[in-house]
Chains A and B, each alone.
Chain A
Amino acid sequence: MFPRIVLAALALALSAALQAQPQPIRVGAFLSVTGPAAFLGDPEQKTLELYVEKLNAAGGVLGRRLELVVYDSAGDAEKARGYVKRLIEQDKVDLLVGGSTTGETMAAVPLAEAAGIPFVSLAGAVVIIEPVKKWVFKTPHTDRMACEKIFVDMRARGVAQAALISGAGGFDRSMRAECLKVAGKHGVQIVADETYGAGDTDMTAQLAKIKGTAGVQAVLNAGFGQGPAIVTKNYRQLGISAPLYQSHGVASKQYVSLAGDAAEGVRLPAAALLVADTLPDADPQKKVVSAYKRDYEGRFKQDVSTFGGHAYDGLMLAVEAIRRAGSTEKAKVRDALEATRGYVGTGGVVNMSAHDHMGLDLSAFRMLEVRKGDWTLVK
């Protein structure tokens, strides 16, 4: 009899102790960890795991532990829809972070809106936040901002007429469309608009046409992958003297090493994270990008990418919002997210509002120029 009472008492005490332990905050993520968009999802997953671990080691959020639930949607919108449903209904997560691609994000938007759950997307396109959706936010800058940054720089150099050359990929086409849309607003006229195909090996025909077009003062290449490196080499081969601009799509050391000497003098907009070492100490983002770079590269022994940075910003924005809301009540967290002011992240300084669920301005991009095979900041 006696041992049974002791056991019952122990069980009671244990369950009481378990109940005293506060419920964890559940963060639901769906990312393209494998598949064609793995270059996005892989660093995103690593970043989320790293920082959930770090936050928990520092005592969690509101005294509660963070718990990360990740599904691999492999770049597939249909899979993303299924996983988001599971995250909301079975895993009962408190908020959603993810959607590496625009397709996956847009598949999740109706579910998040219907369930009323805060959702921070990691995908690029403008359609995610335009028109504004009540529960949906996003961290990455848009290609429209990259176009604007380039046109502002062109105007500062006295360029009024520019040529556009772009590839056939999704990134290339979207950026081309956005650039054509905003060029006029910044006083730049697009006088030639050429394209090249996926896997094309030579772009001298298109560039010769641009060279022969009267009045071209600068050329902008909206592209991703090896296309822009070939364009850069062909550009020098033809001896075109107008300044060449590339997009943030090739803002990596790989582009410089592929194009070699031909890349000298090329300008492109890039996130601060890529030039963490070059940023002056007074830069508001210096501290956060340097710390993220150190943490990530120290742990995973691979270069940071802006994509992992987007996941960092997504998680930190959500955590900040939960802290300010003082709870994980969904409506309160949403309002807190929308009220984000002056958050300094890897992507820029975020100031959200009821009309702007991204909150970045052109200062999120730095204009870089390739000099002696390295980036230099254009003042």
Chain B
Amino acid sequence: MIEQYLLSGVTTGAIYALVALGFTIIYNASHVINFAQGEFVMIGGMASAAFFEAGIPLPAAVALSIATATLVGVLLEKLAVGPAREASVVTLIIITIGASILLRGLATLVWDKKIHRVPAFSGETPIALGGATLLPQVLWVLGVSAVAVALLAWFFRRTLTGKAILAVSHNRLAARLMGISVRRVLAVSFGLSAALGALAGVLIAPIAFTSWDVGVMLGLKGFAAAILGGLGSSAGAVLGGLALGLIEALGAGYLSSAYKDVFAFLIIVAALVFLPNGLLGRRAAERV
């Protein structure tokens, strides 16, 4: 039975990890926790379902839905976050909460309040692994998470735009004096994390379906995973997500399924008390 609990944990963990990754980019650029991240996930899922139901082949529907979400992310920055960029981080976070409510409302108008499905990328025949089973789609989620982590590491270390994002997060004024456009960095980071969120939404939809309100819980769990792994660290986000999924599955299996979320959040609280920067978070340098 332990094998099935572990695979179940990996399934949920992979989903949390992918959602958590989206939080890291905007956090790296602005120290803002984007509470509309879950809505990007929702837009990815709902848009791909809508495009697919309209008769567009799956790969094109996936690409279109990611493009849609990227556009929404950039618009969110242009219309709401950018104009208030000189405000405090808390204000910006509250703006993202407002944006999440708005996006949920818009989703019910643009699409509907029904639950939708997106077909699995490589069929639904479970893969047997030592007496337990795993859906092929979970491998997609895991694989894409790994590729995303590698690409993000390359992006932040090797490209000028990535370095500019990190520079803005370290010292906005100094970055601006060096000729970096803070507005552009913010727009790029919102677009990028929206794209990543939408990708997560598309990959998750065949496993867990999608509807206008899936972003709420996925966003919350992804945020918890990002905190556990250390905010701002891509590898940490994946590690945090997998850890959270495994804790939940093992808690449900061996203790009580009624309290599985309680265990998960208790462990996060404990982790924050003893490891304030998460599993892989960089210690924030305190300037005196």
Contact = CB atoms under 8 A, between A and B. Distances in A.
A201 B115 CA distance: 13
Contact of B4 (A205, A233, A258): A205
B21 to A, nearest CB: 16
A238 interface: yes
Nearest to A210: B257
Interface string B121-156: 000101000001101000000000000000000000
Given A202-B12, A229-B209, A239-B133, A197 B115 contact: no
A206 B252 contact: yes
B204 interface: yes
A209 B117 contact: no
A212 interface: yes
Contacts, number: 91
B209 A208 contact: no
Contacts of A260: 117, 124
A379 B211 CA distance: 35
B208 A226 contact: yes
A199 interface: yes
Interface string B211-227: 10010111001000000
A315 to B, nearest CB: 25
Contacts of A208: 1, 4-5, 8, 132, 253
A90 interface: no
Interface of chain A: mostly helix, strand, loop or mixed: helix
Chain A interface residue bracket vs B: 20 to 34
B11 A257 contact: no
Contacts of B217: 197-200
Contacts of A205: 4-5, 8-9, 248-250, 252-253, 257, 260
A201 B253 contact: no
A19 interface: no
B7 interface: yes
A209 B132 CA distance: 12
A328 B117 CA distance: 50
A324 to B, nearest CB: 40
Interface string B5-47: 1011101100100000000000000000000000000000000
Contacts of A239: 133
A113 B230 CA distance: 58
Nearest to B204: A201
Contacts of A199: 214, 216-218, 221
B207 interface: yes
Nearest to B207: A201
Given A230-B209, A238-B133, A209 B252 contact: yes
Contacts of B113: 38-39
Interface of A: 38-39, 194-202, 204-206, 208-209, 212, 225-226, 229-230, 233, 237-239, 254, 257-258, 260
Interface of B: 1, 4-5, 7-9, 11-12, 15, 113-115, 117, 124, 126, 132-133, 135, 204, 207-209, 211, 214, 216-218, 221, 248-250, 252-253, 257-258, 260-261
Q: Across chains A and B, which 10 residue pairs bring their CB atoms closest together, nearest first?
A: A199-B217, A201-B208, A208-B4, A204-B8, A205-B8, A205-B249, A205-B252, A226-B209, A194-B257, A202-B11
Given A204-B4, A238-B4, 10 more contacts: A201-B208, A201-B218, A202-B12, A202-B249, A204-B7, A204-B8, A204-B11, A204-B249, A205-B260, A225-B211
